Structure formats: C-alpha cells, structure tokens
Chain A
Amino acid sequence: MNGMARKFTFMDVIKYLILILWACTTILPLLWVLNNSFKESNEILLNPMKLPSKLSFFNYSQLISYGNMNIFRGFLNSLIISGSVVLLVLLFGGFAAYVIARFDFKLTGIVKIFFTGAMLVPAFSIVIPSLVILRKLGLNGSYLALILPQTAGLLPFATLTLAGFMRTLPVELEEAAIIDGAGVLRIFFTIIVPLSIPGLVTTAIFVFLWSYNDLFMSLIFIPVREKQPICVLLSLVSSVYGTNYGAMMAALIITVLPVLILYVFLQEYVIKGMTAGAVKG
C-alpha cells in the first residue's frame, strides 16, 4: 500500500473498476443461483434474471425426497464423514507430527520422505487397488470406506504442517513434565495439544473443506445412495432432476451455503489452512 496520501485519480477509478468487475464474477453467479432457488421452475424459464414474484420454498421441500435422493441426508452424511476424517487426521497426524518435531533420529528423516512422497501420488491413479482393498476388508458400502482413504490422503499434508508448527513450541514445559514423571501420551494431550490449538484449527479447517468438497473418492468409494456425501448427490442432481432447474439451484445453495458461512466467520484460518502448503515462512 502506498504510504503517501494523494487524491483520487483517474488511475484509481480504473483500478477499482477492474477489481469490482472481478468481484462481480465471484458474487453474481451465487446471487443468481440463490435468487432462482426461491422460484418455481416455470418462473425461472420465464425470467431468470428477475427477483421471485413470491418467496417459494417449494424447491427446497422437494429435495427431501425425489428420485430416492435426500440432499439433507447427504449433508448429514458429509458431516459424519468429514467430521470423522478431521478427528482421525488430527489425532494420528498430531501423534506423528509430535515424533517428527521432537524425536531426533534417523527414523524421522525416513518418515518425512515417506510422507512427502505420498503427497505426490494423485488420487486418480490409485483408486482401483484401493477399492479392491476396501472390498477385501468388507468395508464396501460403509462410511469407513470413504473415511479411511480420505484420512490417508490428508495425513501426509497434516503431519508435515503440524510438525512445522510443533517445532516452534518451547520445549521446557515438556522437560519439566518428564521430570515429574509424566508419560508421552499425557505430555501430548496436556501440553502439546493445548499449545498447538492454532495449528490444529488451521489444519482441521483445511482437512474439513477438502473432505467435504472431494468428489472423486466419494463417487467411487460409497456406492450406497443413503450414505453418499452431499458432493456426490450434487453431481447427480442434473441427471436425477432432469430439467428441474429450481431443484438444482436449491441443491447448490444447500451445499455451498454452509461452507461460505464457515469461510466468512473463520476467514483467517481458512486462508491459512488452504495456503499452508504453498508458502513457507
């Protein structure tokens, strides 16, 4: 930002114009969908740009049961799946991160390479064998069939990020605790976890958003309609609802709105989490 105070120049007008134009591309499509989600389909066809003549919740109400697909159930499934993934990733990733941050030994070097390598593997390329394993384990059709691969996919990123965070924590508290005879788990839960809360929150939000938004794995690992997360149902919406545009718009709003609300309230954490891997220091 320019420290010097100047007048509002012609250049400034152009600058704001460009910025507002881009802001329009990110806001208007959402408003358009929101607006049309309150109209009945024939009104959308008639006047897709106008405000609804009366606020209709018909589109939302028909999403409860239509073509064997309940989008609200999908939302609940997403919360179950993504919630579990967040807990497992934080717990196991936290454990591993603690070892990497505090344990100086050849092993930690190898573990770091193990996780860094895992991050390079694209999800597409490994779904077929993963599906075979899940079937062998008898998990096919259960929530775990998605929870476990997603957890594995997110652990490397979470572990390395949390390890970087934990390394910056002062070690004196842990040393004092050891002298007092505390065990490793006790140290982890009573000292490390409370001190790491900012790092854990950032990681949790990234993991949640990634899991909630993931379509590819969800599509493949959960074939049972009643257990599918909202993303999968949303991708099926156009084939199930045919030309029922109102229903599609309402489904979009139900999927997107919770995420946007989460984002607006936890902005700093969301941005930190989403960009954590990108910029170091």
Chain B
Amino acid sequence: MQVLKNKKYAILLLLPALILVGIFIYYPLFATFYYSFFDWRDFSNYKTFVGLDNYVQMIQDYAVRKALINTLIMMVCVIVFQVGIALILALIVDSIKSGYKFFRTVFFFPVVISGTAIGLMFYLAYAYDYGLLNAIITAFGGQKKVWVTENSALTMVLIPVIWQYVGFYFVIFLAALSKVPHDIYESALIDGITGIKKAVYITIPLIWDVIAVCISLAIVGTFKVFDIVYVITGGGPMDASQVLGTYLYKVAFTGQNQGYASAIGVLIIILGIILSTISNKLTERETITY
C-alpha cells in the first residue's frame, strides 16, 4: 500500500532522524576507530599518530585483561542465574492460583529503578557501620564484617547486576508461558507427567525460542553494565571488579588518555558485534507454532 507516493516528502520526514543518528552514532563510530591510532591526551588539539601502539598497550594491560575476564564471568553468571531464576520464578507463578498480578508488579520493581540508585542502595547495604547486611548479622548476635574486599568485589557487584534484571526476563517468560495451549498440559496430566518433570520435558522445550532470545539479550546486556559497578566499587579495589565500561571511563576521563580509551572503545565495538552475531545465529531457529 503506497500512501506516500512523493519521495521528496519521504526523505524530508526521514531527515531529522537520519541526521541525528548519523552525527551522534555513525560519525563517532568511525572517529573512534580513527582516534585509536593516535597518542592523544587531555582532549588537546594535538594528536600524534602512533599506529598500533594503543592496541599493543591494550594486550599488555592487566586491567583490560581483568575487565575482559570479569565481563565473561559476568556473562556466564547472568545467563545461569538471571535467566535461570527468572525462568524458575515464571514457572512457579504460572502454576499458582492467585497472586499472579502482585508478584509480576513487585518482581519488576528493580527493572524500572536506575542502576545508579540500585548501586547506591547496595553500597549502603554493604557499608560497615550502618549497612543492612551488618545490621542483620549483629541482630542475630554475629560479628560485623567488611563486605567489599579485593577477593569479594566482583561477587558483590554481580549480585545487584543479576538481581536487577530478573524481573525483566520473568515478565517475558510469563508472557511466553501464557501462550502455551492448555490441552498440551491436559494430555500430559493424563500421562501422569506433572511438576518438575512437566517443566523440564514439556514446558521448557515449548518455550525454548523465548529462552534463547533472553540468553542473547543477557549476553549483549553484559556489555552495557556500568552504573552499578561505577557506584559500588568504581571498578576497584585494584581493578578487582573492573568491567570494560568502567575501565574505558577511567582511562578517558580520570587518566585523560583519549587515544588509548578509543582503542578500548574499538575492542568493545568488535566484541559486541561478534557476540550479537553469535547470539542472532542462536535465536534464528524457527519459532514454534502451535
């Protein structure tokens, strides 16, 4: 159906969006590649071409390695725990008689709250003197402890990162489960398949395409983690909880080394493209129709 026959109008209507996306996404994308070949500091007017030096530095940089490893660990934990917990909760809510609406509302709370607020909330919960965790421990007669140390920092930021988006995947799974037709469950019941067996052998295979979408969203989402880590630990102590986003921020704005930060930016872009291609392939399989 062609309502807009005049191409001139079509282009005029597209123009504002194209210009904005062009100037603030595509141009910076190419500029980042360009800057990554320069020694450039303090946003000065002078850049020196250094070829691949920034990339060589990146390979040798302990913090980059740590950030990459942390991002990968985060990815695995997010898939297993975030998507896993969401699926279990959705299966349970789908099988109860009442309270559906209440749990859906409450589980989604953290999704709408900003990562900054969640970060600060956990920062306060982990605090030594007045923190929620130590308050609970002392209420039961235990000893206060220091929660964020070099050994524990990654775990302490992983908990809120995972917790925040459980509600998001929970809602998606709930929608998928509501579309599974009842007669499949009824014939399963006649065959005596109930409870966990029903979930594993019938429900999960039926919604597998949705689970795959959630896994790929979770993978791509890990690259965007910033706020929570920035507020709780800032990537520290000693880079123990560094992720790519926090490290790029540190190099570019605390270290004032824009050339090197651009190279890290390129690394993030390339990893992002590779991972979203892989996860697109994962989710490309045909969706099940009933």
Q: Hey, which bits of chain A sit against chain B, CB under 8 A?
A: 1-3, 11-12, 15-16, 18-19, 22-23, 25-27, 29-30, 32-33, 44-45, 48-49, 91-93, 95-96, 98-99, 102-105, 107, 111, 114-115, 118, 120-133, 135, 148-149, 151-153, 155-156, 159, 171, 174-175, 178, 184, 187-188, 209, 212-216, 219-220, 231, 234-235, 237-238, 243, 245, 248-249, 251-252, 255-256, 259-260, 262-264, 267, 270-271, 274-275, 278-279
Partner of B23, one of A49, A152, A216: A152
**Contact mask B91-110 → A, CB, 8 Å, 1/0?**
01111110110111111111
Other A-B pairs beyond A130-B28, A216-B249, A274-B111, 20, CB < 8 Å:
A18-B92, A19-B99, A33-B124, A45-B129, A99-B14, A103-B10, A105-B7, A107-B7, A120-B273, A122-B269, A125-B269, A126-B25, A129-B31, A133-B24, A151-B24, A156-B21, A184-B6, A213-B116, A231-B114, A234-B120
Minimum CB–CB distance from B169 to chain A (whole Å) comes to 9
- Asked if A215 and B172 sit within 8 Å, CB to CB, the answer is no
Whether A92 lies near B17 (C-beta < 8 A) is yes
A15 to chain B, nearest CB (A): 5
Q: Which one of A96, A125, A256, A274 contacts B266 once the chains associate, using CB atoms below 8 Å?
A: A125
Q: Decide: A184 and B217 in contact? CB cutoff 8 A.
A: no
Cα distance, A105 to B5, chains bound together (Å): 10
Given B10, B16, B168, B224, which contacts A107 in the complex, CB threshold below 8 Å?
Answer: B10
In this assembly, does B197 line the interface, its C-beta being within 8 Å of a C-beta of chain A?
A: no
- Residue from the list B4, B43, B108, B121 in contact with A132, Cβ < 8 A: B43
Q: A64 to B139: give the CA distance in the assembly, Å.
A: 34
Chain B min CB distance to A205 (Å): 10
Stretch at the interface among B56-64, B74-82, B226-234: B226-234
Would you give 26 A-B contacts (Cβ < 8 Å), ordered by A?
Answer: A12-B96, A19-B93, A19-B96, A26-B167, A45-B130, A92-B20, A111-B18, A122-B272, A127-B28, A131-B43, A152-B21, A152-B25, A155-B20, A156-B21, A184-B4, A187-B3, A215-B115, A216-B227, A234-B114, A234-B116, A235-B231, A243-B129, A267-B105, A270-B108, A270-B112, A278-B214
Residues of A within 8 A of B110 (CB): 26
Across the A-B interface, give the 7 residue pairs with the lowest CB-CB distance, nearest first. A213-B114, A129-B31, A152-B24, A126-B28, A129-B28, A125-B265, A95-B13
Contact B130 A48, beta carbon cutoff 8 Å: yes
Is there contact, CB below 8 Å, between B95 and A15? yes
What sequence of 0s and 1s flags, for each residue 245-275 of chain B, a beta carbon within 8 Å of any chain A beta carbon? Answer: 1001100110000100110011011001100
User: At the interface, is chain A mostly helix, strand, loop or mixed?
Assistant: helix
B223 at the interface (CB under 8 A from A): yes
Q: How far is the CA of A90 from the CA of B136 in the complex (A)?
A: 47
Q: Is B83 an interface residue (CB 8 A)?
A: no
B29-41 vs A, Cβ < 8 Å mask (1 yes, 0 no): 1011001000000
CB <8 Å contact, B25 and A118: yes
The contact of B3 among A26, A44, A102, A267, by CB within 8 Å, is A102
A2 contacts across to B, CB distance below 8 A: 95, 97, 185
Q: Are the C-beta atoms of B23 and A95 separated by less than 8 Å?
A: no
Q: How far is A216 from B223 in the complex, measured between Cα atoms in Å?
A: 13
Q: Is the CB of B262 within 8 A of A128?
A: yes
Chain B residues near A (Cβ < 8 Å): 1-4, 6-7, 9-11, 13-14, 16-18, 20-21, 23-29, 31-32, 35, 43, 85, 88-89, 92-97, 99-100, 102-117, 119-121, 123-125, 127, 129-132, 135-136, 139, 163, 166-168, 171-172, 175-176, 182, 185-186, 195, 210, 213-214, 217, 223-224, 226-227, 230-231, 244-245, 248-249, 252-253, 258, 261-262, 265-266, 268-269, 272-273, 276
**Inside 8 A of B99's CB, which chain A residues have their CB?**
16, 19
Determine how close the nearest CB of chain B comes to the CB of A200; give it in whole angstroms: 15
Q: Are A235 and B272 in contact (CB under 8 A)?
A: no
Please, which residues of chain A bring their CB within 8 A of the CB of B168? Answer: 274-275, 278
Q: Which residue of B lies closest to A172 (CB)?
A: B1
Asked whether A103 lies within 8 Å of B2 as measured between CB atoms, the reply is yes
Residues on B with beta carbons closer than 8 Å to the beta carbon of A135 = 43
Name A114's contact: one of B21, B123, B249 (CB within 8 Å): B21
Residues of chain B lying within 8 A (CB to CB) of residue A49:
135-136, 139
**Chain A residues, CB < 8 A from B6:** 184
Report how far A27 CA is from B167 CA in the complex, Å: 13
Contacts of A231 in B (CB 8 A): 114, 116
| Shortest beta-carbon distance from B270 to chain A in Å | 9
Residues of chain B within 8 A (CB-CB) of A184 are 4, 6, 9, 13
Q: With both chains docked as a complex, state the minimum distance between the C-beta of A249 and any C-beta of chain B, in angstroms.
A: 7
A15 and B96 alpha carbons, distance in the complex (Å): 8
Give, as a whole number of angstroms, the nearest-CB distance from B177 to chain A.
Answer: 9
Is the Cβ of B105 less than 8 Å from the Cβ of A260?
A: no
| Chain A residues in 8 Å Cβ range of B109 | 26-27, 30, 260, 263
Which chain A positions have C-beta within 8 A of B266? 125
Cβ-defined contact, A151 with B20, below 8 A: yes
